[in-house]
Chain A
Amino acid sequence: MPDAPGLELIRGEIERDHPGAVLATSFDRGQAALIADPEQILEVLRWLREEPGHRYRFLSSLHGVDYLPADPRFAVHYELLNRDRVERVRVKAMLADPAAEDALPAIDSCVELFPTANFQEREVYDFFGIVFRGHPDLTRILLPDDYVGWPQRRDFPVGGEPVTFTYNERRYG
């Protein structure tokens, strides 16, 4: 983990190359996070991956989060790992829920940078309905293809799914 001053240094260096790419930083419970501008997420990730002296080359995890009452509501988290210095840093891209009825929040896909993101971005799409622009095969991964809804969103009810038993087969098919 970079410590709090180290995180600010990283932020400063990214800001020098890409002004406005890092919106904020947070250092909470010993874990460092950069809150990145979703429009410039690829620049931030590429910088962290390629910049000599940093090289966070291993993407441990990519997951979606729904901070429901907050605005912007969604976030995509990138848990990056530098294996030489044994340091982790989290990059967060906050995404607002589009106002239009069927519109989905969207962000650039990082599969080109980190091929491991392929399945994980599909999982985030599957559960949160976050579209990854430029993903090679953005389809549902764990849920059936014809599933309607984004179940990991906080406003999707638990148990909102009818379960088919023999006696109610006709009703739910």
Chain B
Amino acid sequence: MADRTAEVGLSTDLLRTPDLNEDRTEELMTVNIGPHHPATHGVLRLVVELEGELVRGVKPIIGYVHTGIEKSCEDKSYWKVIPFVERMDYVSYFFQMEAYCGAVERLVGLEIPPRAKYLRTIFLELNRIHSHLVWLGTTALDLGAISMLWYCFRERDKILDLFEMATGQRMHTRYFQVGGVIEDIPVGFEQKCRAFAEEMPIRVGQYEALLDRNEVFLQRTKGIGIVDRERLLELGVSGPLLRAAGDPWDLRKAFDYLAYPEVDFKIPVGTVGDNYDRYRVRVAEMVESASIVRQALDLLENGPFIADDRKYVLPPRSELSTSMESLIHHFKLVTEGYRVEAGEVYYAIEGPRGELGCFVLADGSSKPARVHYRDPSFVNLQAFPEMALDSYVADMIASLGMLDPILGGVDR
């Protein structure tokens, strides 16, 4: 090289590499990301300390979509609380309903009939697939895999069609009731749902074909955002994040609720706990959920879809015109609601993001004295500064996507 410069008559001075460290300072730069930023998956504000491109500290600031739902619930009778809680974590509304309805059922000691158990299981698992699809689409979008969003939302739309067919609503369905579900599934739902559950594993295979051998995706996710399992447990992290770190902890297996003890499914776990494992665990969960839906459809037997206790459950519409008793029950339930004997219950289920717990305190009146949600996104967000520490800004965004926080649930 040097002799060639002499040949063309260039001064060696010009070819000298400039000093790249000339402008570098040791000083940290504080950058504000959000609250309105497409990569924060909601209204989340991050105050980031940067050394060049490296993240040296993150502080998540939350509360921008706090709407006081827990407070509002205290002013509503038990059955009117259901639409409120659905709107906390707006992607996993069936889970929010199940946590609340399950807690109230435990408070009043109401058994739900078998058909309702299976129906609830079916809808919860469809909702889990839906939630993971939203996560996969938007997170892949953050990593530059734009087409994933369209594929994921195509399947998500099919799930929403199923919800609409059974409940009349695509989101926030208010389908679960204390005692069961509000109405039976319509004719044709079973076939449509089964067709979807058969198709879903094939679709998941297609997503994997798009991402699993995508060099950009692999480099952006492998070895990024690792927090070890013990630390995750200390931070109270649960759900796919914990399982990706190799801990097979799943409340569906640990505690018996709904139809989960009767269906056969596996708990996917990761090994290292990096972003790639988080992706793998969630994708594998979608296949397992589809299998649970199929099994629950097989086990679905005819029978009542809601408990027969007229003190808590609305009488069937047809009885209102013939039975005075039913009319009185209906009137009392709709106007005042039912009273619940004083007591408190904490009921936790496995949501798509981890342990979703609902605490309900009854004081003997027809309104709950306290409704509290232990939201997995809220608790998991505490692990985010450690996931993002000493990584690049772009990887911080990837880690946030892989954490999958829903800010409606964080802020409530």
Q: Which residues of A contact B361 (CB under 8 A)?
A: 65, 67
Within 8 A of B (CB), among A100-159: 114-120, 123, 140-144, 151-152, 154, 156, 158
A and B contact pairs by CB, cutoff 8 A, 24 listed: A60-B357, A60-B374, A61-B357, A63-B372, A65-B344, A65-B361, A67-B369, A79-B359, A86-B254, A115-B382, A116-B235, A116-B237, A117-B236, A119-B378, A119-B382, A141-B63, A142-B62, A142-B66, A144-B63, A151-B71, A152-B370, A154-B74, A158-B71, A158-B74
Decide if A61 touches B346 in the complex (CB within 8 Å): yes
Say yes or no: A143-B346 contact (C-beta < 8 A), given A158-B72, A158-B74.
no
- Stretch of A11-19, A23-31, A34-42, A165-173 contacting B (4+ beta carbons < 8 Å): A23-31
Report the minimal beta-carbon distance from B67 to chain A, rounded to whole angstroms. Answer: 10
- Main secondary structure, interface of B, reads mixed
Known: A29-B343, A60-B355, A67-B361. 16 other contacts (CB 8 A): A28-B343, A29-B106, A30-B106, A31-B345, A31-B346, A60-B357, A63-B359, A67-B363, A77-B359, A79-B348, A115-B236, A116-B236, A119-B379, A142-B412, A156-B71, A158-B71
Report whether B379 and A116 are in contact in the complex, using a CB–CB cutoff of 8 Å. yes
A57 touches B (CB below 8 Å): yes
Report A56 CB to chain B, min CB distance, Å.
12
Task: List B contacts of A58 (CB < 8 A).
Answer: 233, 236
In the complex, which residues 354-412 of chain B have their Cβ closer than 8 Å to any Cβ of chain A?
355, 357, 359, 361, 363, 369-370, 372, 374, 378-379, 381-382, 411-412
Residue contact B379 to A115, C-beta cutoff 8 Å: no
**Once the chains bind, are B255 and A86 in contact (CB under 8 Å)?**
yes
CA distance A154 to B379 in the complex (A): 25
A114: chain B residues within 8 A (beta carbon) = 234, 236
Instruction: For the complex formed, measure the closest distance between the CB of A11 and the CB atoms of chain B, giving whole angstroms.
Output: 19
A85 to B411, CA, bound (A): 32
Q: Chain B residues with Cβ under 8 A from A154's Cβ? A: 74, 369
Report the nearest A residue to B106, measured CB to CB. A29
* Residue on A nearest B375 in the bound complex, by CB: A61
B379 touches A120 (CB 8 A): yes
Q: State whether A61 touches B359 (Cβ < 8 A).
A: yes
Kindly report which residue of chain B lies nearest to residue A33, judged by CB atoms. B344
- Are A60 and B62 touching (Cβ within 8 A)? no
Kindly list chain A residues whose C-beta atoms are within 8 Å of the C-beta of B237: 116
- Nearest chain A residue, comparing its CB with the CB of B372: A63
Distance of B380 from chain A, by nearest CB (Å): 10
A59 to B238, CA, bound (A): 11
A141 touches B62 (CB 8 A): yes
* Min C-beta distance of B242 to chain A, whole Å: 10
B63, A143: Cβ atoms closer than 8 Å = yes
The answer to whether B74 touches A61, judged by C-beta atoms less than 8 angstroms apart, is no
Q: Nearest chain-B residue to A159 (Cβ)?
A: B75
* Docked-complex contact A28 and B344, CB < 8 angstroms: yes
In the complex, whether B9 has a CB less than 8 A from a CB of chain A is no
Q: How does the 8 Å CB contact mask read for B286-330 relative to A, with 1 for contact and 0 for none?
A: 000000000000000000000000000000000000000000000
A36-69 CB contacts (< 8 Å) to partner B: 57-61, 63, 65-67
